[in-house]
Amino acid sequence: MNNRARLLDVIDRSLNGPIMSEKDFDMKRVHKNIKRVVKKYHIEYTQDCFLSNDYDLMDRAWDAAVDFLASCGVYSKDTGRVIEYSEREIREIMSWAPGHLVVGEGQDAVDVYHRTLDDTKLVANMGAPVGIPVPEQYFEPVVTSYMQEPLVDIFNTPTVETMRGRTIRTRSPLEVLAGHDEWARLKGIAAKCGRPGICMQGTVISVSDVGHLSSSSWMGKGDTLAVGMICELKVDNTIMNKVADAVLHDKIIMGYADPIYGGLGGGIPGQIVLTIAEMLALYLVMFCEIPGVCPTHPLLFVNDTKEQIQICSVAYGAISRHCNLMCRLTTCLAGGCGTKTLLYEVIAVNMLCCKSGFSVSQGPRPATGVVSGNMSGLEARFQGELIRAAAKIDRQTAENVLRRCYAMYGDMIDQKPYGLPFWEVYDVSTVKPKDFWFKMYEEVKEEAITWGLPMA
Amino acid sequence: MDKKYEMLAEAIIDGDDEAALEATDALLNQGVAPLEIFAECIQETLNELGEQFAKLEIFLPELILASDVVSVVQTKLKPLMQATTSATNVGRIVIGTAYGDLHDIGKNMVSLMLQVNGFEVRDLGTSVEPKAFIDAAEDFDADIIAISALMLPTLPYMKDTIEMVKGNPSLAPKIKIMVGGGPVNPMWAEEVGADGYSNDALEAVTKARELVAELEKGGQKE
């Protein structure tokens, strides 16, 4: 079935599935079924390591997630109905997931591959300050700091705080104008940096469907689209309008969902199941060819605590072993620019990414991704170097490196080591890192080499 | 906690409403006053659950189930303690996400933690228009409007709501506004005139208590 026919099928299901209140969906479908499958498939994380090598657990988690999704479905908030798929349908549709895509154009085109757990194929570096607020006057230097990095393969933009001095509000003409402005600026900066064909993800400023669709004409063939699912396992017409437009125009969707650790999925076992199921749902219902689901901590707002790394290690290991999805890891980290904490965290999450079957590493988002101006291209460069180094080491070495890093940042997470904004860590006129920030990066790199990472 | 409350506390923790109603009946038959049941058992159990959630020893579903059981028990007890109802509710809050924002898990956690800590909460859901917040607050006789947002371009609607309350002389003295969510920070909250900001669900409870206390001090809440 092609995507257009399948889209109509999804819409039909959203109009004809069982009617249910949202609260009943949360408790009777999501919570109850997670509890059931965790017990039925014995989902339990008993290892102490960060990077699981319990392949049997991964396989059970996959079966549990398919069983769970078939009995839970995806809730359509606008129709008040559940979009349902049988286990057989889920397995069949997942078998259609492409294992390879080319994003970007011309010299800037990049291959994105489905990866196995210890694959030596490189993860694509989506080194980007995704959605972090940035004052308008710093938008250009901030974006330049990333696009000028040769190891950045794909870009995703920060959220500009104003447009020509005006506060942007969703569902208004300002949002429509801001969407166009964002694309025009991004394309201009990419050309200036000599990366005219770099794959860009749009449109970050356009939250609503109207803002999004009006600026989608800017998207090139090699660009991708960001569409988020509402947690847990919910869509609405705003989301599906964006999806419908993307399907009609054959655009690649890099969808996402960010379940809350400790939320409806509960602790580690339930989160493993939920993470897999949400990845599957992103492909089934939202046609995301490069989806990403990262459990977020409810109090720390990061996704690199030990528990979260363990969840991702099993969940993405399961996906990697059972279907061709190209998975994306998006990282929200506690450390901000100008701190070594951030750099240790970047190492840790990229060990996870490279050794758990991910295809794309997106971020890092320093200072939990919400502090205005807290981002710089240097950490994206570091990420690109780490991806290359990680491809050359075995799983056990990656585990050891991750342990070393966690020892350096684990206790710092709740201290909010937010560091400094871009204009304090970079020379804004030359768009080069300031000496102290560059020195920190070099020192951590040296340290990583002593831990066994073959960095250039 | 007194041993006589064990069955009810256990039923709340297990999310078992039938057992909770049975245990409540048994306590009433023993002559325990409804207000005592609330203060000495229900509130204490909920506080304990709240603390466990703060340490992630229990998770959101357990809180939801416990909160549902407490609602059922409260419905039974309320007619029996008309005169003392206000003593069991520490404040009334309408809550929702800013207009255009569909992300509600953070808001749901805050809503639940407020309920668990004795607030009466009317949850307006997601993408709530500024006027809808005001109408609901008036209808519910709320002390606080709580607004959450995840997406930056939805913040102007948060500001609109604050301005609509602060610009209305009959509402401004009696309704406090608290805000939170990813792109919100204390500086922004202060700048737009919010009365309170909270970083997470736990802080939200503390801040809501402070705001209600301010209203009481100012004579705007009985």
Predicted local distance difference test score (pLDDT) of residue B101: 86
- Cβ–Cβ below 8 Å for A262 and B53: yes
Instruction: Write the CB contacts of B158 (distance below 8 Å, at least 6 apart in sequence).
Output: B98, B147, B149, B179, B184, B192, B194
Could you write out the DSSP letters of every residue in A343-363?
HHHHHHHHHHHHTTTEEEEEE
- Cβ–Cβ below 8 Å for B65 and A207: no
How many CB atoms are located within 10 Å of the residue A451 CB?
15
Predicted local distance difference test score (pLDDT) of residue B82: 60
**Minimum-distance CB partner of B154 among A27, A170, A232:** A170
- Residue A252: both structure tokens together: 């690649």
In 3D, which of A385, A319, A411 has the Cα closest to residue A356? A319
Give the gap in angstroms from C-alpha B35 to the nearest C-alpha of chain A: 29
How many CB atoms are located within 10 Å of the residue A44 CB?
14
B164 touches chain A (CB under 8 A): no
Predicted local distance difference test score (pLDDT) of residue A214: 86
Residue A390 in 3-state DSSP?
helix
Question: Rounded mean pLDDT of chain B?
Answer: 89
Could you write out the DSSP letters of every residue in A119-130?
--SPPEEEE--T
**Res. B87 pLDDT band, cuts 50 70 90:** low
Residue reference for tokens 């996906």: A319
In 3D, which of A142, A135, A139, A128 has the Cα closest to residue A433? A142
B148: phi then psi, degrees, rounded to nearest 5:
-120, 150
Rounded to whole angstroms, the Cα distance separating A265 from A261 reads: 7
Please list every residue in chain B whose beta carbon sits closer than 8 Å to the beta carbon of residue A299: 54, 56, 200-202
- Residue A254: both structure tokens together: 């890099």
A171 touches chain B (CB under 8 A): yes
Instruction: Write the CB contacts of A451 (distance below 8 Å, at least 6 apart in sequence).
Output: A400, A401, A404
Going residue by residue through chain A, which has 456 residues, state the pLDDT in tens, using 9 for 90 and above: 889 999 999 999 999 999 999 989 999 999 999 999 999 999 999 999 999 999 999 999 999 999 999 999 999 999 999 999 999 999 999 999 999 999 999 999 999 999 999 999 999 999 999 999 999 999 999 999 999 999 999 999 999 999 999 999 999 999 999 999 999 999 999 999 999 999 999 777 788 898 888 888 888 889 999 899 998 999 999 999 999 999 999 999 999 998 889 889 999 999 999 999 999 999 999 999 999 998 889 888 899 999 999 999 999 999 999 999 999 999 999 999 999 999 999 999 999 999 999 999 999 999 999 999 999 999 999 999 999 999 999 999 999 999 999 999 999 999 999 999 999 999 999 999 999 999 999 999 999 999 999 997
- Residue B95: both structure tokens together: 């809550």
Predicted local distance difference test score (pLDDT) of residue B197: 96
How many CB atoms are located within 10 Å of the residue B15 CB?
18
Is residue A277 within 8 Å of A69, Cβ to Cβ? Answer: yes
Please give the distance of CA A412 from its chain centroid, rounded to a whole number: 23
Task: Give the nearest chain B residue to A210 (CA atoms).
Answer: B100
For chain B, the straight-line distance linking the first and the last C-alpha, in angstroms and rounded, comes to 29
Q: Which amino acid is at B169?
A: P
- Cβ–Cβ below 8 Å for B182 and A207: no
Please list every residue in chain B whose beta carbon sits closer than 8 Å to the beta carbon of residue A238: 102
- Residue B88: both structure tokens together: 């069991």
B154 touches chain A (CB under 8 A): yes
A76: phi then psi, degrees, rounded to nearest 5:
-100, 110
B99 touches chain A (CB under 8 A): yes
> Three-state SS across chain B?
CCHHHHHHHHHHHHCCHHHHHHHHHHHHHCCCCHHHHHHHHHHHHHHHHHHHHHCCCCCHHHHHHHHHHHHHHHHHHHHHHHHHHHHHCCEEEEEEEECCCCCCHHHHHHHHHHHHCCEEEEECCCCECHHHHHHHHHHHCCCEEEEECCCHHHHHHHHHHHHHHHCCCCCCCCCEEEEECCCCCHHHHHHCCCCEECCCHHHHHHHHHHHHHHHHHCCCCC
**Minimum-distance CB partner of A370 among B64, B157, B183:** B183
- Residue A234: both structure tokens together: 């919910």
Rounded to whole angstroms, the Cα distance separating B38 from B42 reads: 5
A127: phi then psi, degrees, rounded to nearest 5:
-75, 105
**Res. B88 pLDDT band, cuts 50 70 90:** low
Predicted local distance difference test score (pLDDT) of residue B83: 53
Residue A48 in 3-state DSSP?
coil
Give the gap in angstroms from C-alpha B148 to the nearest C-alpha of chain A: 14
Predicted local distance difference test score (pLDDT) of residue B222: 58
B15 touches chain A (CB under 8 A): no
**Minimum-distance CB partner of B157 among A161, A169, A265:** A169
How many CB atoms are located within 10 Å of the residue B214 CB?
15
Rounded to whole angstroms, the Cα distance separating A81 from A94 reads: 23
B86: phi then psi, degrees, rounded to nearest 5:
-60, -25
Is residue A281 within 8 Å of A235, Cβ to Cβ? Answer: no
- Cβ–Cβ below 8 Å for B153 and A169: yes
Give the gap in angstroms from C-alpha A371 to the nearest C-alpha of chain B: 8
- Cβ–Cβ below 8 Å for A168 and B201: no
B76: phi then psi, degrees, rounded to nearest 5:
-70, -40
Please give the distance of CA B109 from its chain centroid, rounded to a whole number: 10
Question: Strands of A81-83's sheet, edge to edge?
Answer: A81-83, A74-76, A234-235
pTM of the model: 0.92
Give the gap in angstroms from C-alpha B95 to the nearest C-alpha of chain A: 16
**Minimum-distance CB partner of B105 among A205, A231, A270:** A231
Please list every residue in chain A whose beta carbon sits closer than 8 Å to the beta carbon of residue B151: 170, 207
- Cβ–Cβ below 8 Å for A262 and B65: no
- Cβ–Cβ below 8 Å for A267 and B59: yes
Please list every residue in chain A whose beta carbon sits closer than 8 Å to the beta carbon of residue B124: none
**Minimum-distance CB partner of A262 among B60, B151, B152:** B60
ipTM of the modeled complex: 0.80
Predicted local distance difference test score (pLDDT) of residue B221: 67
Task: Give the nearest chain A residue to B101 (CA atoms).
Answer: A207
Is residue B72 within 8 Å of B17, Cβ to Cβ? Answer: yes
CB-defined contacts A:B, below 8 A: 92
